[in-house]
Structure 1
Amino acid sequence: MTGVTLEGVVKRFGDVQVIHGVNLTVEDGEFCVFVGPSGCGKSTLLRMIAGLEETSSGSIRIGARDVTYIDPSERGVAMVFQTYALYPHMTVAENMGFGLKMTGHPRAEIDRKVAEAARILKLEPLLDRKPKALSGGQRQRVAIGRAIVRGPEVFLFDEPLSNLDAELRVEMRVEIARLHREIGATMIYVTHDQVEAMTLADKIVVLRAGRIEQVGKPLDLYNNPDNRFVAGFIGSPAMNFVAGVAEAGSVATRGLGQVATSVALPAKGAEVTVGLRPQHLKIGPGDTHRVELTEALGGVSYVHLSAPSGEKLIVERHDQVSLEPGAMVGLSFDVRDAMLFDKDGLRLR
C-alpha cells in the first residue's frame, strides 16, 4: 500500500475556482476523512485524486508516482460511491469479479480474490444472490467488495453510507473500521457527517469553500480547534457560541455574564465570541435562562435554553430530570473550559 500527496492542488470550472491550492499528505495505511458542509469541495477533491476530475494546477502523487494527468484506470485506486451501482442481472460474485473479468484475469484468480473479499466482508452466504435480494447494507458491502477484489493501492469512499438508514449506518461504520484494520490499506473517505469522521478517522481534514481549515486527529480537532468554524463543526451537539466584548482580563457577555480569562485579548471593546461545549454547562439555581425544550434520550438529555440576549444554548445532562418549557434556571461553567475567538473567528490562545 502507499500514501497520497497533494501539492498546490487547484480546480477551476471555467472562471470559478472551487479548490484553492490544497496541500495535504495522507500517510501509507492511514484512514483520512474529508469532512465539511455541502459545497465545500470534498467530493471534488476526492474525484481529482481518482482522476475523474481534471486538475487545473498543482500535482497529485500516489506513492512515488505523479498521477496528476494519468488515466484513472492506471492510478491504482478503487472508488466506492454513494450509489451502489451494481449490475442487477449479475450475482454478488459476478458483480465483485466483473472488473477483473473485463481486464482479462484468469478465472481461477478471479474466484480466489472474490472468495477472499467475501470472507473479509462476511458475504459468503450471499455470493449466489442478485442485488434485488439484498438489503441496503449488504449491497454496500458488495460495492466495497468489488473495490477490494481489484487490489488497489488506495481506497476512495464518496459518502458511501448516506443512502442507508440510521441503524445500518452504524453497522456499516463498524464494518468499514474493521475492514481498514484487517487489510491496512490507505483509505480516503468523504462525508458531511462529523460523527462518521470522528469514529472512523486516523486523520480528519476539515474543508470549507475549497480550502483546508484544519488537519488533525479527531480528538485534537475536538479539544483544540484553530477557529470557530472547526469548533462548531466538530462535536455533536455543536458548541455553544455567545457574543461578547473584550475588557481587562475578561469578556463581557449578556448570554453568560462576565467570563474571566488569562488569554491575551484584543483591545478593550473588541468583539470576542465565547464558545462552550454542551457538557461544560451546568444548570443550577437562578432565573437567568429560559428552558425552551428538553430532549430526553435516556442516558443523556439535551436542554435547550434561551439566554437573556436571545442566544440559544444547549446543555448536556446525564440524568432523567425533565425541565418544563418556560421554566427559568441558572447556568454555570468552569472558565477553563471556555474557548475564545476573535471577530474573524480565529482562536485566541
Structure 2
Amino acid sequence: MTGVTLERAIKRYGTAQVIHGVDLEIQDGEFCVFVGPSGCGKSTLLRMIAGLEETTEGTINIGARDVTHMDPAKRGVAMVFQTYALYPHMTVGENMGFGLKMNGVAKAEIDKKVQEASNILKLDQYLKRKPKALSGGQRQRVAIGRAIVRGPEVFLFDEPLSNLDAELRVEMRVEIARLHQEIGATMIYVTHDQVEAMTMADKIVVLRDGRIEQVGAPLELYRNPKNKFVAGFIGSPSMNFLDCDVADGALVHPALTQPFKPSVDLPTGATKVTLGIRPEHIEIDRAANNLSVELTEALGGVSYTYVSASNGDRMIVEEREDERSTTGESVGMTFRPDRALLFDVETGQRL
C-alpha cells in the first residue's frame, strides 16, 4: 500500500478553472475523506487522482510514482462509484473477478481472490446469485469486492452510499470502516455528508470552490475550525452564528441576556464580530424570556429546539433533560464561554 501526494494540482475546462492549485499529502494506509457542498470540486479531484480527468497543471504522485498523465489502468487504483455498475447477466462471483479475467489472470487465481474478498465482505452465500437478486447494500458490497479483488494500492470511493436508505447507509459506513481496519489500504472517500466524514475519516479535507479550506482529523476540525465556513459545515446540526455589536470590549446581541466578554482580544476598531456557538453548548434558561421557541424536534433521547431573537436571528439548541421547551414558549439561553468561537464579520476568518 502507498500514499498519495498532490502538488499545485489545477483543473481547467477551457477558460473555467475548477480546481485551484491543491496541495495535499495523504499518508500510507490513511482513510481520507473529501467533503464539501455540491460543486466544490471533491469528485473532480478524486477523478483526477484516478486518471478519469486530465490534470491541467501540477503533479499527482502515488507512492514514488508520478502518475499525473499516466493511464488510469496503470495507476494502481480501484474506484467504487455511486452507481454499482454491475453486469446484470453475470453472477456476483463473475462480476467480482471480471477485471482479472480481462487481464488474462488464471481462473484458479481469480477464484482464490474472489473467495478472499467475499470472506471479508461476507458475500460467500451470494456468489452464485445475479445482481437483481441482491439488496442495494449487497450490490454495493459486490462493487467494493470487485475493487478489492484487483489488489490496488489506493481505493477511491465516489459517494458510494448516496443511493442507499438511511439504515443501510449506517450499516455500510460501519462495513467500509471495518474493511479499512482489516486490509489497511489507503482510501480516499468523497461525500457531501459531513456525518459520514466525521464517523469514518482519519483525515478530513474540507473543500469550497475548488480550494482546500482546512485539513485535519475530525475532532480537530470540529473543535478548532479555521473559519466560519468550516465551523458551519462540520457538525450536525450546524453551528449557530450571531453577528454581535461590540461595546466596551463585550459582545451585545438580542439573543444574549447580558453582554458577553470574550477571552480573546477583539480587533482594534471592530464594531461587529460573529459569535459561533454549537447547539450542544447552549442551555435553555427558563428564567429569561428574550427568545421565542418556534419549533421543537423531539428525537427521543435528544430534542432540537429552534429559537428566534427579537431581530429575527435564529438558533438551534440541543436539549437532553426531561423538561424540554415547547412551541410558543418564551425562554432565554446560557452557553459555555470556553466553547464560543469568534469570527471576523467580513472575512469569516477565526479570531
Length-normalised TM-score, structure 2: 0.98
Which residue is 1:265 aligned to? 266
Question: Counterparts of 1:313 and 1:60 in 2: how far apart (Å)?
Answer: 43
Which residue is 2:304 aligned to? 302
Q: How does 1:63-142 map to 2 (within 5 A)?
A: 63-142=63-142
User: Aligned AA for 1:295?
Assistant: E
How big is each residue's C-alpha offset from its partner over 1:260-296, in whole Å with a ceiling of 9 and x where there is no partner? 1121211334321000000111102211100011111
User: Aligned AA for 1:265?
Assistant: L
Which residue is 2:293 aligned to? 291
Q: How does 1:231-250 map to 2 (within 5 A)?
A: 231-250=231-250
- Does structure 2 conserve the Cα–Cα contact (< 8 Å) formed by 1:204 and 1:217? yes
Question: Counterparts of 1:254 and 1:7 in 2: how far apart (Å)?
Answer: 47
The DSSP-based 3-state class of the residue aligned with 1:286 is coil
Question: Counterparts of 2:249 and 2:136 in 1: how far apart (Å)?
Answer: 56
User: Aligned AA for 2:331?
Assistant: V
- Does structure 2 conserve the Cα–Cα contact (< 8 Å) formed by 1:301 and 1:320? no
Runs (4+) of structure 1 exceeding 6 A deviation are none
- Does structure 1 conserve the Cα–Cα contact (< 8 Å) formed by 2:249 and 2:266? yes
Mean Cα deviation higher: 205-214 or 248-257: 248-257
Question: Counterparts of 1:94 and 1:117 in 2: how far apart (Å)?
Answer: 13
Which residue is 1:275 aligned to? 276
Question: Counterparts of 2:214 and 2:270 in 1: how far apart (Å)?
Answer: 29
Question: Counterparts of 2:39 and 2:271 in 1: how far apart (Å)?
Answer: 32
What stretches of structure 2 of length at least 5 have no aligned partner? none
Q: Number of paired residues? A: 348
The DSSP-based 3-state class of the residue aligned with 1:304 is strand
Question: Counterparts of 1:20 and 1:269 in 2: how far apart (Å)?
Answer: 32
- Does structure 2 conserve the Cα–Cα contact (< 8 Å) formed by 1:296 and 1:322? no
Question: Counterparts of 1:10 and 1:269 in 2: how far apart (Å)?
Answer: 37
- Does structure 2 conserve the Cα–Cα contact (< 8 Å) formed by 1:247 and 1:268? no
User: Aligned AA for 2:56?
Assistant: S
- Does structure 2 conserve the Cα–Cα contact (< 8 Å) formed by 1:245 and 1:268? no
User: Aligned AA for 1:331?
Assistant: M
Over the residues paired in the alignment, what is the CA RMSD in angstroms? 0.9
1:327 aligns with 2:329: yes
Question: Counterparts of 1:238 and 1:109 in 2: how far apart (Å)?
Answer: 49
Which residue is 1:20 aligned to? 20
Mean Cα deviation higher: 317-326 or 104-113: 317-326
How big is each residue's C-alpha offset from its partner over 1:229-284, in whole Å with a ceiling of 9 and x where there is no partner? 00000000000000113333322223325221121211334321000000111102
1:226 aligns with 2:221: no
Which residue is 1:194 aligned to? 194
Question: Counterparts of 2:318 and 2:335 in 1: how far apart (Å)?
Answer: 12
Question: Counterparts of 2:141 and 2:158 in 1: how far apart (Å)?
Answer: 14
1:346 aligns with 2:337: no
Which residue is 1:54 aligned to? 54
How big is each residue's C-alpha offset from its partner over 1:205-224, in whole Å with a ceiling of 9 and x where there is no partner? 00000000000000000000
Question: Counterparts of 1:139 and 1:320 in 2: how far apart (Å)?
Answer: 43
Question: Counterparts of 1:269 and 1:46 in 2: how far apart (Å)?
Answer: 41
Which residue is 2:34 aligned to? 34
User: Aligned AA for 1:307?
Assistant: A
Q: CA deviation at 1:322?
A: 4.0
User: Aligned AA for 2:305?
Assistant: V
- Does structure 1 conserve the Cα–Cα contact (< 8 Å) formed by 2:254 and 2:290? no
- Does structure 1 conserve the Cα–Cα contact (< 8 Å) formed by 2:306 and 2:317? yes
